[in-house]
Chains A and B, each alone.
Chain A
Amino acid sequence: MKFSAEFVQQIADLAKLTIDEAQAKDLALGFEESMAVVEELSQVPTQGLEPTYQVNNLVNVWREDVVNKKQMFTQKQALANAKNTYRGYLVVERIIDHET
């Protein structure tokens, strides 16, 4: 499978990553190499098989919907690692009225 620089750029946008042209070229080559291995899987007959996404046979693990106070952070703890706070809140970037 071929990856154009434009397509790679589009994937980067989806993943909210910024890449330059040189990186786009480099990534395209890496993706092609990886996809060559992945595409071999399409030769494997898998009709009628269920996919495996959980390997230790647990099904629907539930818990009571109660607050676990031991798991709570204080406001100070919750904000301690944030770069930008305002009066005890996290400040986020404006995302509306923002051209992409």
Chain B
Amino acid sequence: MKLNQLTLTQAMAGVKKKKFSGKEIFEACLAEIEVKNKDLNAYLTINSEKSYKSHNKPFYGLPLAIKDNYCINEVETTASSAVLTGFKPPYDATVIAKLRQSGFSFLGKTNMDAWAHGSSTETSDFGPTRNPRNLAHAPGGSSGGSAAAVAADLCVAALGSETGGSIRQPAAWCGCVGFRPSYGRASRYGVAAMASSTDTPGFLTKTVADVALITPCICGLDPLDATSSPEVFPNLINQMKKDLKGKKIGFLYLDIKGMEKTRAYYERVWQDLEKLGAKVEKVKARDPREAIGVYTVVQRSEVSSNLGRYDGIRYGQGREKFGAEAKRRIMLGTFLLSQGYADKYYWQAQKVRTLFMQDFERLFTQYDALVSPVSPTLAKKLGCSEESAMFGELEDIFVEPSAICGLPSASVPCYHDKKSNLYLGLNIMAPMHQEEIVMQVASAYEAGTNWNHWAVVERGDHEI
């Protein structure tokens, strides 16, 4: 096994036992990037070996991929938009500073939909990323570069961010694990803002245990982000490898139109969850199509406000450099917030958002956790985002309801299509601030099935 193929858990254990060093893993990843990135376009910026930081901090300089919307001091940060070409921020995002303190190194910046506007990584101004499982397909998005970097073993783990489904959907399409903690757990300071009321940093990793190791590193109250949460972050490691006995799980969205092709695979997930001891019931939730409406209004409105700051004066290029999708979103938001329309659309959407909050509250009085498909389909072919002006939202139909409510949730591989080599993902959701429940279900499911190939190798290979 090559060192770039290690999970974070394996890498930690091996470095601790001095079988190899963090620097050797860093170099193995750089070598693999050299070979594969030409085809994948997962990384936009690649750091040199010089950026490996050798120290004895907890994570030994292990190498991460960083989505390009996070500011790293003196490293070009574009959010995949030509507007920010050449921009080198003079500071680190809080999340980046925390990862440095934990002792991680950064391999480079990964491609994304420009400004995180999309679910395919095709709206990047620097070309699309290809899905490493099948190069004719899109990786999903917006954290598509990060998902591809993990799936192709071009890093140990990758930082992503989610607003509507931008961690879970690419994780599903690329066959890796994605986790977004609750809104406010990790600071948004130094992240190119998209929709501030839902933007959430999180990770794409090889296994659920990797999520449990790395997520606490970025969480915690940050005085530089007034929406960051003072609540104590739960212990996630303790949730690994428990069974699901006595857990009640609600299964959502199986009967929604568009699920015909993949429904059978999710019914198998249902059976597997029951075998692991959970009591699973199909449950009716608020129509997720309404969440698309809410998300569209909230996201476009916040985008028009947030992207107003790009004036080309203090940094970056002029507004003429905005791509088609960014223009479309800024302008729809400008319209939605304008005099006379804001009451009709913006405030109505925020009230329907309240109904979704209430609906999840009701569901969580009956169930410990909720699960659903992440995406109705396997990864679509490159070019898919041209289907519709609402492509991103339609793809994210099952993840947007929990996103607009800020709930902690994960995507774990739950089916592998041998013919296309593509994956489906299981969306696991828990109440606000109860990340440990997501981890318990995700870990038990991963341990009880064979869909995650890294986890399978790890199980068969206790002594690396």
Where the two chains meet, the residues of A that have a C-beta atom closer than 8 Å to any C-beta of B are 8, 11-12, 14-19, 23, 26-27, 29-31, 33-34, 37-38, 40-42, 44, 46, 49-56, 58, 61, 63, 71, 73, 77-78, 80-84, 90, 92
Contacts and interface: CB of A to CB of B under 8 A. Distances in A.
B432 interface: yes
Interface residues of B, number: 67
Given A17-B322, A55-B405, A81 B226 contact: no
B406 A77 contact: no
Contacts of B316: 81
A7 to B, nearest CB: 9
B106 to A, nearest CB: 20
B406 A56 contact: yes
A7 B357 CA distance: 35
9 contacts: A12-B331, A15-B308, A27-B327, A33-B389, A37-B292, A55-B197, A77-B90, A78-B314, A83-B312
Given A29-B389, A49-B354, A55-B432, A42 B226 contact: no
Interface string B320-332: 1010100110111
Interface in B19-48: none
Contacts, number: 154
Nearest to A76: B90
Contacts of A37: 289, 292-293, 296, 390, 393
A38 to B, nearest CB: 5
A46 B354 CA distance: 9
A9 B381 CA distance: 33
A49 B332 CA distance: 25
Contacts of B375: none
Given A54-B227, A90-B314, A41 B357 contact: no
Given A51-B347, A61-B226, A11 B328 contact: no
A73 B344 contact: no
Nearest to A44: B352
Contacts of A27: 327-328, 331
Given A15-B330, A41-B352, A81-B87, 5 more contacts: A15-B327, A15-B331, A17-B319, A34-B332, A55-B405
Nearest to B403: A55
A50 B354 contact: yes
B326 to A, nearest CB: 9
A81 B88 contact: yes
Contacts of A58: 184, 226-227, 229
Given A16-B319, A44-B290, A56-B182, A51 B351 contact: yes
A14 to B, nearest CB: 5
Given A52-B350, A56-B183, A82-B314, A41 B226 contact: no
A61 to B, nearest CB: 4
B193 to A, nearest CB: 15
B354 A56 contact: no
B90 A80 contact: yes
A15 to B, nearest CB: 4
A49 B390 CA distance: 28
Interface string B297-316: 10010001000100111111
A38 B335 contact: no
A15 B227 contact: no
A80 to B, nearest CB: 6
A42 B348 contact: yes
Interface centre among A23, A46, A55 (most CB of B within 10 A): A55
Nearest to B432: A56
Nearest to B333: A15
A15 B338 CA distance: 11
A70 B311 CA distance: 26
B197 A40 contact: no
B192 interface: no
Contact of A92 (B313, B353, B432): B313
Contacts of A71: 224
B56 interface: no
Nearest to A90: B313
Among A8, A12, A17, A54, chain B packs the most CB atoms within 10 A around the CB of A17
A51 B354 contact: yes
B389 to A, nearest CB: 3
Nearest to A55: B406
Contacts of B182: 56
Nearest to A57: B432
